[in-house]
Structure 1
Amino acid sequence: MPTLNWIGKEKVINHHLDVPYRVLDHKYSFDENGQHHGDNESDNKIIRGDNLEALKALLPQYEGKIKCIYIDPPYNTGNEKWVYNDNVNDPKMKKWLGEVVGKEGEDLSRHDKWLCMMYPRLKLLQRLLADDGAIFISIDDNEQAHLRLICDEIFGYNNFINNVIWQKKYSPQNDAKYFSDMHDFVMVYSKNKINWDRNLLPRSDEQNKRYKNMDNDPRGPWKSSDLSVKTYSPDYDYPIETPSGRIVNPPQGRCWRTSKENFEKLVEDNRIWFGVNGNNVPSIKRFLSEVQDGQVPVTLWLRADVGDNQEARQELKKIFSDSAFPFDTPKPPRLIERILQIATDKNSIILDSFAGSGTTAHAVLNMNKEDGGNRKFILVEMEDYAESITSERVKRVINGYDDIGGTGGSFSFYDLGEPLILENQYLNENISIDKIREYVYFMETKEVLSKNRDSYYLDTHNNTAYYFYYEKEKITTLNYNFLKTMKEKAENYIIYADNCTLSEEELLKYHITFKKIPRDIKRL
């Protein structure tokens, strides 16, 4: 398989492992009671902070559970003024930190920086994606070819689904130097192509109007379909006599699609159409009631069906009146709704780690209102407008804006908190014990800790009981006194503590694995 090399690749392939795990710091919630500081425990989240660190923070709760990911990363046009700020420990790359990425002629490392930025984020997104999930990535020609190669490397080239063409504008640019750019791409990869099953799209009224009922058939509207096929078989090449007495043979080099015996059954069942006067070449009737309830998605998405950049800008003006926005090419909710129709069910979790103006949440709320679903969204936005625009838009969509009624719903807003494990490898004592316990249990079992108890006992998983004997104010020791406090019965025990005075023979006797805090706490 072809691979892509660029400046800094060897430094970022495993950079996602070096990113510190930070806890999410709840700031406020929003629901039917408005904004308040209490935690409404909404499944919808908006996170303010660097998306690489935010994706790492989501792993303990969401690894392998995101059904659909949509991202709209910087296209790297040279006009976006994005900055490479990942703290990769390499002198060459440290020179990039804080520098605005410019045009190609001005910044010869522009594509290298973009790839270094995208690679670790895609690695974490791949981990978050469910085994039956898919990721949709908006991109244009500036990085489309590069993106395809690194996605082949991260997701596997066998998991490539399609490259959708989206008509992003209606009017051509007469001042374009070469061609007027009328489209973007939406690149689609699955986590595991064998397990990904896309949904059919709803049939349109225009499609249904093609079905008539010219003979008042009690089975309802139908349309005629060619009875002949290209694949020739002499057994299916026979003359047919129409009701008017005309003899009809299949076209030269073709044959009928069914045997003569089965054809007679179809005639008897009134499934063959010879025309109003009974003199036409026979065709087979396809009933609307019998066709599949939907249409297969295509790879060309026209603005009439899913909206364009102009529609998206007009939508933002409705939501925020005459405010100015830092978005030249926002995405319309209808574009994301098309993705949701294809790739989600009513209870799916949808992640957007380049949230921008919050279009993905808008689309999720619209879909839930339309079909009564309970889809959940997670947005990540690092820019200053994360609260003033991203979350504010979601509030107004929930409550209603302009002449559009509210969707209802709720969300919680978070900031990225402190690292759970400090650079000196000690636990951060500013982090709540509950958060630490949740992290330790996830790292041991890859499961979410369902309940935080008052005791040191975490939970039992696969016949192994987990204990985290930790106190911020004192040294803890695994000894016989602690064993006497243990109530849970299991085949095996994993116990974390600062020290252990039990011998190897005693640990073996009681089926105990001792793990030292913080040395033996696994790192994400």
Structure 2
Amino acid sequence: MPLLDWVNRNQAEETATNVPYHLLKFEQSYGDKQQAKENLIIQGDNLQALKALLPLYGGQVKCIFIDPPYNTQSAFEHYDDKLEHAQWLSMMYPRLQLLKELLADDGSIWITLDDNEAHYLKVMCDEVFTRNNFVANVVWQKRTSPDMRSTLGAGHDNILVYAKHFSSFKKILKKVPKTAEQIKTYKNPDNDPRGPWVSSDYTAQGFRPNQMYTITTPNGNKYTPPAGTCWKNIEEVFLQLVNDGRMWFGKDGGGMPRRKTYLSESEGQNAWTWWTNAEVGHTQEAKKEVNNLFGVENTFDTPKPERLLERILHLSTNTKDIVLDSFLGSGTTSAVAHKMGRRYIGIEMGEHAKTHVIPRLEKVIEGEQGGISKTVNWQGGGGFSFYTLGNPVFDDNGFLNAEVKFKDLASYVWWLETKFALNQTENFDNPFLGIHESTAYYLLYNGILGDRRPNGGNVLTSSVLNHLNECHAHDGKRIVIGEASRLSPARLEALNIEFKQIPYSLYGNKAK
């Protein structure tokens, strides 16, 4: 497959690997304390934050929406959108790598861009997510009128959509609810007990011999398929539809057969790639939403309308699914996710994490009625937690940060070994972490064994091994991770135990 090339691409390919794992430092919770644990707002560099999230949420995020800098060569008040082209590509590549690892198997990523970089990013995403997982390029009509300052005014943005695994995503993709205008087209002229309906042509293109029968209408008129067409179903199915009252022949009973589709049985319609501003909002609407929240003097440069995010989350998620936005901006994604009952993670580097995002979500908790609130019947409630980036888990010399707790290290160890996130709801009171692909994992760290020493139980000895067997006996392979081992290599091999020293055996020779 052809690859996109740019200056310093080689370094960009290694950036995600070389970023050290950081701790997330809890700062404050807002709203309901219990629900606040499910929703995270993180202030800090999103590359470091994404790496920090992998051991906690890897493979669990159902929908990622990002609105990265468009690289328009403009300077905005709240962020710099003036990177050299190669720098922009180097900025995006490692972030896409990490975002992919955070996605669930049936998850999807939605990326908004204009034409400055969209086509380059399409090629990059084809590489990171593979072309087979490309879903669509949605065209969002972002304006209500042409930009008179431009030769050809930009009336749209692109929304690139990729799946982690297209076949899995296709199974969970929802339909778009019908609009009020579409609902008005449903009538019930024959007082059908199933309620209002619309009718559709009963012919299909092509020639199928078993679908070329003659239809006799209730008043005796006879019809055969017009040239180049056939009926949509075989005669047996047609007669059953007639018997069920699902065919329409006009008020006099003599018209061309048409099939009824009932409003009560309609789940909506399949989404397509043209999203009008009437359906999902526009930039002026988004600006008004933010102005109403923060005032004109404290507005945000390029927000997205809440209706746009509602459409994306409706199509790709269910209640309680995790939504992530690593270019959070003014907090639209988190606000919409909160109102729709999704869990969310938002990452923002700038000070507007505090000046815009937190105040906005506080208003959401209070029940503000802007944006989609009335549509989803939002009444307030819920909570979220605010975090900043803490110190790296390992320093440059490979030593553990003193602030690292057992569960912190367990999360990183489990991710490094299995590429799955550790169950964060479990309270660990012994070294056993779990079983992955028939291998049992144990972590000796932070005095997890209490008085079973030496060194607080961080060293594998015969006594410690006996206790591991008490914690969880396992007949297959076992991996024990700790500070050191006092057991000989021959004995470890005989017991089918692999010992890994923190951190060198985990990372090669680097604590990254």
**Fold shared by both chains (TM-score > 0.5):** yes
The answer to whether the 8 Å contact 2:337/2:344 transfers is yes
Take 1:313 and 1:466, find their aligned partners in 2: how far apart are those partners?
Answer: 52
1:209-288 correspondence runs (5 A)? 209-233=184-208, 236-237=211-212, 240=215, 242-244=217-219, 246-258=221-233, 263=238, 266-288=241-263
The answer to whether the 8 Å contact 2:55/2:414 transfers is no
One-letter amino acid matched to 2:351: D
Q: Does 1:359 align with 2:332?
A: yes
Take 1:398 and 1:134, find their aligned partners in 2: how far apart are those partners?
Answer: 27
* CA apart distance, 1:481: 4.4
One-letter amino acid matched to 1:395: E
Q: Is the alpha carbon distance of 1:485 and 1:214 closer, same or farther for their aligned partners in structure 2, counting shifts above 3 Å?
A: closer
Q: Is the alpha carbon distance of 1:449 and 1:256 closer, same or farther for their aligned partners in structure 2, counting shifts above 3 Å?
A: closer
Q: Is the alpha carbon distance of 1:270 and 1:113 closer, same or farther for their aligned partners in structure 2, counting shifts above 3 Å?
A: same
Q: Is the alpha carbon distance of 1:520 and 1:231 closer, same or farther for their aligned partners in structure 2, counting shifts above 3 Å?
A: same
Unaligned residue ranges in structure 2 (runs of 5+): 449-453
1:395-434 correspondence runs (5 A)? 395-401=362-368, 406-434=379-407
Q: Is the alpha carbon distance of 1:232 and 1:402 closer, same or farther for their aligned partners in structure 2, counting shifts above 3 Å?
A: closer
Q: Is the alpha carbon distance of 1:453 and 1:241 closer, same or farther for their aligned partners in structure 2, counting shifts above 3 Å?
A: closer
Specify the alignment match of 1:480 in structure 2.
Answer: 462
Specify the alignment match of 2:355 in structure 1.
Answer: 388
Specify the alignment match of 1:119 in structure 2.
Answer: 93
Specify the alignment match of 1:135 in structure 2.
Answer: 109
The answer to whether the 8 Å contact 2:405/2:446 transfers is no
Q: Deviations over 1:449-486 (max 9, x none)?
A: 5545455x243424625031456995954333444554
Q: Is the alpha carbon distance of 1:382 and 1:250 closer, same or farther for their aligned partners in structure 2, counting shifts above 3 Å?
A: same
Take 1:12 and 1:275, find their aligned partners in 2: how far apart are those partners?
Answer: 65
| SS of structure 2 residue aligned to 1:280 | coil
Q: Does 1:7 align with 2:2?
A: no
Of the structure 1 ranges 185-194 and 255-264, higher mean CA displacement relative to structure 2 is found in 255-264
Aligned to 1:377, which of 344, 347, 350? 344
Aligned to 1:76, which of 58, 71, 79? 71
Take 1:307 and 1:313, find their aligned partners in 2: how far apart are those partners?
Answer: 11
Of the structure 1 ranges 212-221 and 389-398, higher mean CA displacement relative to structure 2 is found in 212-221
The answer to whether the 8 Å contact 2:286/2:303 transfers is yes
Q: Is the alpha carbon distance of 1:474 and 1:81 closer, same or farther for their aligned partners in structure 2, counting shifts above 3 Å?
A: farther
| SS of structure 2 residue aligned to 1:184 | strand
| SS of structure 1 residue aligned to 2:70 | coil
Q: Does 1:439 align with 2:399?
A: no
Specify the alignment match of 1:54 in structure 2.
Answer: 49
One-letter amino acid matched to 1:54: A
Aligned to 1:498, which of 477, 483, 487? 483
Specify the alignment match of 2:166 in structure 1.
Answer: 193
Aligned to 1:175, which of 137, 149, 168? 149
* CA apart distance, 1:233: 4.3
Q: Is the alpha carbon distance of 1:282 and 1:463 closer, same or farther for their aligned partners in structure 2, counting shifts above 3 Å?
A: closer
The answer to whether the 8 Å contact 1:134/1:189 transfers is yes
| SS of structure 2 residue aligned to 1:386 | helix
Of the structure 1 ranges 422-431 and 479-488, higher mean CA displacement relative to structure 2 is found in 479-488
| SS of structure 2 residue aligned to 1:20 | coil
Q: Does 1:520 align with 2:505?
A: yes
* CA apart distance, 1:83: 12
One-letter amino acid matched to 2:388: D
Specify the alignment match of 1:340 in structure 2.
Answer: 313
Q: Is the alpha carbon distance of 1:226 and 1:509 closer, same or farther for their aligned partners in structure 2, counting shifts above 3 Å?
A: closer
* CA apart distance, 1:219: 3.0
Q: Deviations over 1:418-449 (max 9, x none)?
A: 00111112212243444234323443343415
Of the structure 1 ranges 405-414 and 130-139, higher mean CA displacement relative to structure 2 is found in 405-414
Q: Is the alpha carbon distance of 1:214 and 1:5 closer, same or farther for their aligned partners in structure 2, counting shifts above 3 Å?
A: same
| SS of structure 2 residue aligned to 1:334 | helix
Q: Is the alpha carbon distance of 1:477 and 1:246 closer, same or farther for their aligned partners in structure 2, counting shifts above 3 Å?
A: closer
| SS of structure 2 residue aligned to 1:164 | strand
Specify the alignment match of 1:152 in structure 2.
Answer: 126
Q: Is the alpha carbon distance of 1:287 and 1:77 closer, same or farther for their aligned partners in structure 2, counting shifts above 3 Å?
A: same
Take 2:2 and 2:402, find their aligned partners in 1: how far apart are those partners?
Answer: 47
Aligned length in residues: 488
One-letter amino acid matched to 1:17: T
Take 1:148 and 1:11, find their aligned partners in 2: how far apart are those partners?
Answer: 20
* CA apart distance, 1:331: 0.2
* CA apart distance, 1:4: 0.7
Take 1:217 and 1:132, find their aligned partners in 2: how far apart are those partners?
Answer: 40
Q: Is the alpha carbon distance of 1:479 and 1:145 closer, same or farther for their aligned partners in structure 2, counting shifts above 3 Å?
A: same
Q: Is the alpha carbon distance of 1:221 and 1:400 closer, same or farther for their aligned partners in structure 2, counting shifts above 3 Å?
A: closer
Specify the alignment match of 1:91 in structure 2.
Answer: none
* CA apart distance, 1:279: 4.0
- TM normalised by structure 1 equals 0.85
Q: Deviations over 1:306-331 (max 9, x none)?
A: 11111111111221234422x32210
| SS of structure 1 residue aligned to 2:130 | helix
* CA apart distance, 1:55: 0.2
One-letter amino acid matched to 2:416: M
Q: Does 1:206 align with 2:181?
A: yes
The answer to whether the 8 Å contact 1:29/1:40 transfers is no
* CA apart distance, 1:240: 4.9
Take 1:379 and 1:211, find their aligned partners in 2: how far apart are those partners?
Answer: 41
The answer to whether the 8 Å contact 2:44/2:347 transfers is yes
Aligned to 1:468, which of 440, 444, 463? 444
Take 2:139 and 2:95, find their aligned partners in 1: how far apart are those partners?
Answer: 24
- TM normalised by structure 2 equals 0.87
Identity between Structure 1 and Structure 2 (%): 41
